């Protein structure tokens, strides 16, 4: 029949008319090549908030996670593309605006990026978004061709006719697909069918970041944009007494001096003029309650707090009794300093407040809160504030703040000036500006049983709360315990019948914040060093000792085996010593062996072998990159950095006294990814926690010096015993 | 008025002669590929070439750059082997320091075409807070090889 009726759709209609009604309508004319009537597109096809397909086949993905180096502008598109089956080369990425559709799937009514959740929280959501778009495009093509949708295939941004001889591009179908209802449910590919997920893919943001065109917040250009720098309090909690802006205003280019909540802003035609103006600003502060803040004194206060029982964060068995009756027990004190995030791009924000609305350009991890804060400052409804997320020149948590302080101040300055203003923090503002990883003091005791296994573990944590008094308190603070102070130890993986973890909240004052890996950054240091101390007390190899205690955690044991094999555990290169650490955080497990040399009281990390089990991988090369990055980030803190106070003032100010390792100090890093079918874990943060203890344990292996204070310091020698006033003397077997 | 030659074009700028070149490039010429990060010459994010030498532009008063040839990341050819190597090795993460790293690396390769590791260690002193150093090293090796085969560093 198909040979006989070689007709166009129009011919077919004529024939039908000739044959009369009714009869012919029942005819099915397979293969009849009808003229395809493709509805023209009046606009792009937007099956959901994440995808837009234009008639010219351009595919735009709106990504609601901030790109700060962790690769979400590539890995999240991979999730969509896996199901949408789109031509990868045609994908464009846009930062999502602030809208409820872009809220974090696990954070309630908040749009934001953090907690190594970007993949974990969107793995189903974005694949579903892609699948939904695909189903609608297929349906549109199937209607045009009058074939069952299930008989059509898709490939590279085209729907392919069941017979395979013709196809329609997604762009061509945009108009027809736009008229359809999104499906209620879509099937998702099983992992075995993944073509994109789990295979290395080049970052989409690389070209712009290599040729200098990538726009960070600090690069935003607007007509008549002014620049402001702010004179900030010299002591946290200090208040402004008075200022005289005349000298500042006399600097060529300076437009105005205005008071804002965070200090006194000098507004100018350029950064340099604003900075020169700030230099000559006459300003008097009332230093307030922290005027005498001193790190040494604060350390004593923390030690005193650790003498008192705290709130019980974890409890099983009777650790005190087990410790009292134990034949072999050790105790130690670990101390960790305040740390600045020091992203390479200092904080900044562009605000343009007008009578009818406000626009913000900012590299932020917390869009909803920032948008709402801007609306509040302007006295506008939230809908009147438009926030543009730029690239972030590093985040590490510093751009995820509950009080939106760096957005509020820009909005305040713009409002006062009635002009668009960019507020730029200098590096000194950044290092001295607070929102640090909190200082922590951990007193820990452990006991070994007759079997040389772990009998008791007791840990008392003194630490400021990150979340108290912030929008995150409700979710992260339970019965007075800030989860971010105790995470990583209350769920101790090592088998122990008696466990007690107590929390003493240190007094507030210095602004504190999450710093890449948050509480795990110090709990893992204590846990992994102290388990090494216990292994030593038990006279056992640190690897074998850990494995015995991880019987309930086969993934950790398997990872340790992989690591030991790849690192050549127990066989370090001549003159080097190895240290080991493993830690689970953010849904992933990372284990590392650090190989160090110690010469002239200097610790040099020569090689780090890293094994990571993050479940299903998305972009494996990004995982490798994040492990390299996390090892570097953690190593910088482990060996170099501390924020300290004297007379209320932060003693550090820039990279000369808050130093960052350079290329020459970077160890060789080898990363091994455990193949896994488990659900995806986080990847931005979990590589940080193990590196500091791995290095400290390697130093112990090198010279029997047990370093319990960060940053790890061998000189002057007096510092090491001071780190462990209560003992730290191991009872040797 | 100060006349600057940047990326083979002349520009007239009305700034105080002691203004750091970095801020003239960024604020007056809108060449924002050159980055501010520390302002004290420690980090190298602001690295540009002056007469083919890598310099930290936050430490150069603009008057010292007069009558010299200034090159910024925007002036580096798109097909430059160092850029190509950076792409091939997937170096970037947050990307903020990379223009400075690339400008440092191009000047380095002109001087040290063999790109020995000891030379890389000594000369590549810019800070990358994302720790892309292992890939910076391999990218420099790759660019060195490409240049040796005929590409121009």
Q: Which residues of B touch A213 (CB under 8 A)?
A: 33
Separation of CA A22 from chain center: 65
**β-bridge mates for residue A92, sequence order:** A60
Which of A202, A209, A218, A621 has the most B C-beta neighbours within 10 Å, making it the best mutation to test the interface with B?
A: A209
* Strands in A625-730 per DSSP E: 645-646, 649-650, 668-673
Residue of A nearest to B39 (CA): A427
DSSP-based three-state secondary structure for A155: strand
Nearest by CB: A628 against B45, B74, B134: B134
Residues 6+ apart with CB under 8 A from A273: A227, A251, A252, A253, A254
How far off is chain B from A503, nearest CA to CA, in Å?
Answer: 32
How far is A641 from B112, CA to CA, in rounded Å? 33
Length of chain B: 153
How far is A369 from A404, CA to CA, in rounded Å? 7
Q: At which residue do the structure tokens 């019987």 appear?
A: A551
What is the bridge-based pairing of β-strands A602-613 and A668-673? parallel
How far off is chain B from A344, nearest CA to CA, in Å?
Answer: 6
Q: Which residues of A touch B43 (CB under 8 A)?
A: 344, 655, 660
What does pLDDT average to in each consecutive run of 10 residues of chain A (733 residues)?
36 35 36 69 92 96 98 98 96 98 96 97 98 98 96 96 94 96 95 97 98 98 98 98 98 98 98 98 98 98 97 97 95 98 98 97 98 98 98 98 98 98 98 98 97 96 97 96 98 97 98 98 98 98 98 97 98 97 98 97 97 98 98 98 98 98 98 97 98 98 97 70 40 36
Nearest to B128 by CA among B23, B59, B37, B40: B37
Segment 636-695 of chain A within 8 Å of chain B by CB: 654-656, 660, 662-664, 666, 668-669
Which of B2, B23, B38 has the most A C-beta neighbours within 10 Å, making it the best mutation to test the interface with A?
A: B38
Residue A654 has a pLDDT of 98
Residues 6+ apart with CB under 8 A from A252: A273, B16
Partner B contacted by A17 (CB < 8 A): no
The CA–CA distances, whole Å, from A435 to A55, A340, A350, A423, A428 equal: 47, 7, 21, 18, 14
How far is A431 from A650, CA to CA, in rounded Å? 8
The answer to whether residues A52 and A45 touch, using CB atoms and an 8 Å cutoff, is yes
DSSP-based three-state secondary structure for B115: coil
Q: At which residue do the structure tokens 């917040």 appear?
A: A217
Which of A67, A272, A628, A631 has the most B C-beta neighbours within 10 Å, making it the best mutation to test the interface with B?
A: A272
Judged against a pLDDT cut of 90, whether residue B34 lies above it is answered with yes
Cα dihedral across residues A212, A215, A219, A221: positive or negative: positive
The CA–CA distances, whole Å, from A315 to A464, A499, A527, A604 equal: 21, 5, 16, 39
Q: Do B95 and A669 touch (CB under 8 A)?
A: no
- A42: number of Cβ within 10 Å: 10
Residue B151 has a pLDDT of 55
Burial class (CB in 10 A: 0-12, 13-18, 19+), B110: middle
Nearest to A401 by CA among A481, A514, A317: A514
How far is A525 from A706, CA to CA, in rounded Å? 13
Q: Which residues of A touch B122 (CB under 8 A)?
A: 664
How far is B63 from B45, CA to CA, in rounded Å? 21
Residue A716 has a pLDDT of 61
| More confidently predicted of A720 and B109 | B109
Peptide bond into A352 cis (omega under 30): no
Judged against a pLDDT cut of 50, whether residue B153 lies above it is answered with no
The CA–CA distances, whole Å, from A395 to A151, A515, A710 equal: 47, 9, 22
Residue A685 has a pLDDT of 98
Q: Which residues of B touch A270 (CB under 8 A)?
A: 23, 27-28
Residue of B nearest to A669 (CA): B134
Cα dihedral across residues A506, A512, A513, A515: positive or negative: negative
Q: Do A393 and B83 touch (CB under 8 A)?
A: no
How far is A486 from A469, CA to CA, in rounded Å? 18
The per-residue pLDDT for range B110-132, each reduced to its tens digit, is 999 999 999 999 999 999 999 99
Residue A33 has a pLDDT of 53
**Prediction pTM value:** 0.93
Which of A212, A213, A251 has the most B C-beta neighbours within 10 Å, making it the best mutation to test the interface with B?
A: A212
The per-residue pLDDT for range A172-229, each reduced to its tens digit, is 999 999 999 999 999 999 999 999 999 999 999 999 999 999 999 999 999 999 999 9
The answer to whether residues A401 and A392 touch, using CB atoms and an 8 Å cutoff, is no
Q: Do A211 and B26 touch (CB under 8 A)?
A: no
Q: Which residues of B touch A395 (CB under 8 A)?
A: 94
Residues 6+ apart with CB under 8 A from A545: A531, A534, A535, A538
Residue B150 has a pLDDT of 72
Q: Do A663 and B121 touch (CB under 8 A)?
A: yes
Length of chain A: 733
Which uninterrupted H or E stretch holds A540? none
Nearest to A446 by CA among A593, A549, A522: A549
Peptide bond into A573 cis (omega under 30): no
Q: Do A202 and B33 touch (CB under 8 A)?
A: no
Q: What is the DSSP string of A323-372?
A: HHH-SEEEEEEEEE-BB----SS--EEEEEEETTEEEEEE--S-HHHHHH
Q: Which residues of B touch A225 (CB under 8 A)?
A: none
DSSP-based three-state secondary structure for B4: strand
Residue of A nearest to B101 (CA): A210
How far is B128 from B136, CA to CA, in rounded Å? 10
**β-bridge mates for residue A153, sequence order:** A160
Half-sphere exposure for B26 (CA within 13 Å, toward CB):
28
Nearest by CB: A632 against B28, B31, B133: B133
How far is A676 from A628, CA to CA, in rounded Å? 20
């Amino acid at each position: 029949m198909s040979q006989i009726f070689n007709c166009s759709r129009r011919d077919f209609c004529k024939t039908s008319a000739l044959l009369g009604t009714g009869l012919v309508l029942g005819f099915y004319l397979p293969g009849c090549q009808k003229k395809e009537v493709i509805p023209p597109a009046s606009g792009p096809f937007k099956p959901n908030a994440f995808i837009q397909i234009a008639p010219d086949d351009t595919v735009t993905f709106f990504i609601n996670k901030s790109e700060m180096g962790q690769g979400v502008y590539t890995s999240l598109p991979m999730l969509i593309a896996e199901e949408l089956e789109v031509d990868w080369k045609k994908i464009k990425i846009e930062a999502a605006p602030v809208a409820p559709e872009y809220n974090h799937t696990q954070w309630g009514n908040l749009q934001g990026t953090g907690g190594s959740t970007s993949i974990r929280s969107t793995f189903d959501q974005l694949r579903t978004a892609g699948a939904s778009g695909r189903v609608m495009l297929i349906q549109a093509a199937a209607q045009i061709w009058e074939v069952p949708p299930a008989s059509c295939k898709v490939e590279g941004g085209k729907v392919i006719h069941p017979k395979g001889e013709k196809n329609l591009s997604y762009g061509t179908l945009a108009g027809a697909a736009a008229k359809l209802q999104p499906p209620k449910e879509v099937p998702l590919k099983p992992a075995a069918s993944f073509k994109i997920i789990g295979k290395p893919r080049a970052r989409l943001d690389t070209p712009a970041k290599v040729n200098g065109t990538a726009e960070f917040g600090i690069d935003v250009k607007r007509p008549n944009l002014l620049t402001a720098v702010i004179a900030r309090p010299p002591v946290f909690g200090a208040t402004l007494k008075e200022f005289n802006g005349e000298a500042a205003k006399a600097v060529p280019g300076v437009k105005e001096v205005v008071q804002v909540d965070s200090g006194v802003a000098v507004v100018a035609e350029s950064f340099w003029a604003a900075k020169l103006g700030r230099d000559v600003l006459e300003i008097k502060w009332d230093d307030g309650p922290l005027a005498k803040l001193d790190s040494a004194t604060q350390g004593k206060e923390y030690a005193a707090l650790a003498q008192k029982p705290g709130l019980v964060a974890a409890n099983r068995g009777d650790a005190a009794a087990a410790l009292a009756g134990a034949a072999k027990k050790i105790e130690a004190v670990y101390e960790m300093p305040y740390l600045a995030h020091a992203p390479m791009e200092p904080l900044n924000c562009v605000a343009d407040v007008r009578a009818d609305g406000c626009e913000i350009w900012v590299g932020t991890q917390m869009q909803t809160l920032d948008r709402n804060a801007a609306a509040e400052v302007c006295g506008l409804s939230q809908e009147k504030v438009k926030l543009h997320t730029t690239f972030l020149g590093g985040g590490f948590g510093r751009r995820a703040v509950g009080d939106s302080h760096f957005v509020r101040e820009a909005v305040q300055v713009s409002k006062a000036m009635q002009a668009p203003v960019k507020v730029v923090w200098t590096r000194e503002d950044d290092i001295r500006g607070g929102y640090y990883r909190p200082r922590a003091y951990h007193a820990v005791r452990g006991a070994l049983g007759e079997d040389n296994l772990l009998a008791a573990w007791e840990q008392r944590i003194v630490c400021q709360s990150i979340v108290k008094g912030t929008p995150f308190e409700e979710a992260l603070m339970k019965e007075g315990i800030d989860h971010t102070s105790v995470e990583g130890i209350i769920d101790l993986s090592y088998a122990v019948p008696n466990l007690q973890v107590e929390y003493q909240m240190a007094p507030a004052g210095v602004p504190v914040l999450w710093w890449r890996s948050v509480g795990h950054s110090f709990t893992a240091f204590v846990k992994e060093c102290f388990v090494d101390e216990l292994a030593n007390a038990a006279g056992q190899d640190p690897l074998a000792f850990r494995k015995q205690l991880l019987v309930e955690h086969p993934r950790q044991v398997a990872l340790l085996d992989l690591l030991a094999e790849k690192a050549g555990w127990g066989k370090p290169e001549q003159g080097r010593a190895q240290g080991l650490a493993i830690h689970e955080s953010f849904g992933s497990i990372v284990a590392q062996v650090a190989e160090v040399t110690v010469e002239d009281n200097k610790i040099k990390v020569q090689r780090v072998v890293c094994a990571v089990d993050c479940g299903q991988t998305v972009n494996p090369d990004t995982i490798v990159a994040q492990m390299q990055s996390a090892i570097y980030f953690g190593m910088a803190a482990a060996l170099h950095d501390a924020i300290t106070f004297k007379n209320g003032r932060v003693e550090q100010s820039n990279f000369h006294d808050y130093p960052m390792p350079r290329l020459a100090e970077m160890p060789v890093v080898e990363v091994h990814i455990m193949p896994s079918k488990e659900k995806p874990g986080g990847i931005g943060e979990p590589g940080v926690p193990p590196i500091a203890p791995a290095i400290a344990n390697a130093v112990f292996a090198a010279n029997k010096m047990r370093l319990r204070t960060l940053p790890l310091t061998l000189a002057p020698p007096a510092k090491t015993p001071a780190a462990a006033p209560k003992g730290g003397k191991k009872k040797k077997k | 008025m100060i006349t600057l030659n940047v990326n083979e074009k002349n520009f007239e700028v009305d700034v105080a002669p002691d203004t750091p070149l970095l801020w003239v490039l960024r604020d007056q010429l809108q060449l924002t590929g050159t980055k501010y990060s520390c302002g004290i010459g420690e980090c190298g994010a602001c690295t540009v070439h002056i007469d083919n030498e890598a310099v930290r532009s936050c430490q150069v008063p603009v008057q010292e750059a007069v009558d010299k040839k200034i090159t910024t990341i925007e002036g580096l050819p798109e097909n430059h082997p160092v850029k190509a190597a950076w792409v091939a090795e997937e170096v970037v993460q947050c990307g903020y320091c990379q223009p400075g790293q690339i400008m440092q690396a191009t000047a380095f390769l002109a001087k040290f075409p063999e790109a020995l590791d000891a030379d890389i260690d000594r000369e590549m002193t810019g800070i990358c807070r994302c720790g892309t150093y292992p890939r910076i090293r391999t990218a420099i090796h790759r660019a060195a090889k490409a240049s040796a085969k005929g590409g121009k560093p």
